[in-house]
C-alpha cells in the first residue's frame, strides 16, 4: 500500500466513519443558513491579470484557490472550478472564470481532499502546466495521464524562474477512497523571490510548525483559512506539546 504519512508530534486528526455520517446527516438537514455568500469584487481586472508579467498579485478565486502572479509566473493553488464535488454542491461561484485566467504555468497542491484536488478542473487547464504536489501524490497524477509532476517532502524546494517554491508542514490529513487514508502527504507552500515571500498554508490546524516556518522565512503575505469548521463540533486536535504565550 505504500507509506502512511503523519503530522508533527504524531497528532491524530482523522475522523471515524460515524463522524462522517453524522456530518452528512446534519449538512443534509439544512439547519444552517447557507444563503449568505461573500460578494464578488465589483471591479474585476481580468484583462490586467491576463497581460501582467511584472507585478506580484494575489487573487482569491474561492476556498483554497488563489491565482498568484510572481516573477512573470502564473500560479494556481488547489484549483477547483467544479459546481459540485461528489455529492457536495458549491455554495459560491468562483471569483474568476477559467476563461478569465492568464496562461497558467504552475499548480501547487496542498493535499488530496476533493475540495483541493479536483481533476475535473485540472483537465481544463493547459497541457503544459507543471504540478508541484506532496510526496505520495505523483502516482495518481500519472494514472490520470499527467506527466509534468514533481513531488516534495516537507522542507524540500525547487527554483523556477527566480522563484523558490518550498513545501512546508501543515497539520491535517488526507483521503480520496476508503483505502488510501494518509497515503500521500499534506502541507503548504512558500513562494519566495528576491523581494517578496508569500505563504499558502492549505488546510491546517494550529501547530508548532507555524513557529518553524516563521524561523525560516520572513513572510510578507499569508493565505490562511480561519474559522473553517462546520459544524462546530468537528475540530482538528492541536498538539498538546505546543504551548503558546
Which pLDDT score is estimated for 1?
59
Across 78-87, average pLDDT? 91
Which pLDDT score is estimated for 243?
32
Which pLDDT score is estimated for 69?
98
> Is 60 exceeded by the pLDDT of residue 242?
no
Across 113-137, average pLDDT? 97
Task: Identify the band that residue 135 occupies on the pLDDT scale cut at 50, 70 and 90.
Answer: very high
Which pLDDT score is estimated for 245?
27
What DSSP line would sit under the chain, residue for residue? -------GGG------HHHHHHHHHHHHTT-S-----PPPPTT--HHHHHH-SSS-EEEEEETTEEEEEETTEEEEES----SEETTEEPSS--SS-GGGSPPP-EEE----STTT--HHHHTTS-TT-EEEEETT-HHHHHHTT---EEEE-TT-EEEETTEEEEEE--S----SSTT-TTSS---EEEEE-SS-EEEE--S--S-THHHHHHHH---SEEE---S--SSTT--PPPPTT----
Which pLDDT score is estimated for 134?
98
> Is 80 exceeded by the pLDDT of residue 206?
yes
Which pLDDT score is estimated for 21?
78
Percent of residues, the chain, with pLDDT higher than 70: 89
Q: Indicate the Cα dihedral angle 115, 117, 123, 125, nearest 10°.
A: 90
More confident residue, 169 or 32: 169
pLDDT in tens, 16-25: 777 777 877 7
Which pLDDT score is estimated for 236?
46
pLDDT in tens, 41-63: 877 899 999 999 999 999 999 99
pLDDT in tens, 165-190: 999 999 999 999 888 999 999 999 99
Percent of residues, the chain, with pLDDT higher than 90: 69
More confident residue, 235 or 214: 214
Which pLDDT score is estimated for 39?
84
More confident residue, 12 or 187: 187
Amino acid at each position: 500500500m505504500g507509506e502512511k504519512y503523519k503530522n508533527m508530534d504524531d497528532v491524530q486528526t482523522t475522523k471515524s466513519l460515524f463522524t462522517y455520517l453524522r456530518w452528512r446527516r446534519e449538512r443534509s438537514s439544512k439547519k444552517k443558513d447557507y444563503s449568505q455568500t461573500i460578494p464578488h469584487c465589483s471591479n474585476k481586472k481580468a484583462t490586467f491579470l491576463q497581460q501582467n508579467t511584472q507585478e506580484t498579485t494575489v487573487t482569491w478565486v474561492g476556498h483554497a484557490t488563489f491565482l498568484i502572479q510572481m516573477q512573470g509566473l502564473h500560479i494556481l493553488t488547489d484549483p477547483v472550478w467544479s459546481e459540485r464535488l461528489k455529492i457536495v454542491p458549491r455554495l459560491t461561484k468562483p471569483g474568476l472564470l477559467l476563461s478569465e485566467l492568464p496562461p497558467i504555468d504552475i499548480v501547487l497542491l496542498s493535499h488530496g481532499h476533493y475540495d483541493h484536488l479536483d481533476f475535473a478542473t485540472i483537465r481544463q487547464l493547459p497541457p503544459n502546466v507543471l504540478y508541484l504536489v506532496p510526496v505520495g501524490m505523483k502516482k495518481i497524477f500519472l494514472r490520470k495521464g499527467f506527466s509534468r509532476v514533481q513531488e516534495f517532502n516537507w522542507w524540500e524546494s525547487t527554483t523556477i524562474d527566480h522563484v523558490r517554491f518550498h513545501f512546508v508542514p501543515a497539520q491535517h490529513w488526507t483521503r480520496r477512497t476508503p483505502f488510501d487514508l494518509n497515503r500521500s502527504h499534506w502541507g503548504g507552500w512558500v513562494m519566495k523571490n528576491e523581494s517578496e515571500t508569500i505563504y499558502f498554508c492549505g488546510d491546517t490546524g494550529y501547530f508548532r510548525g507555524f513557529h518553524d516556518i516563521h524561523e525560516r522565512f520572513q513572510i510578507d503575505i499569508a493565505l490562511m483559512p480561519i474559522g473553517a469548521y462546520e459544524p462546530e463540533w468537528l475540530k482538528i486536535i492541536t498538539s498538546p506539546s505546543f504551548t503558546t504565550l
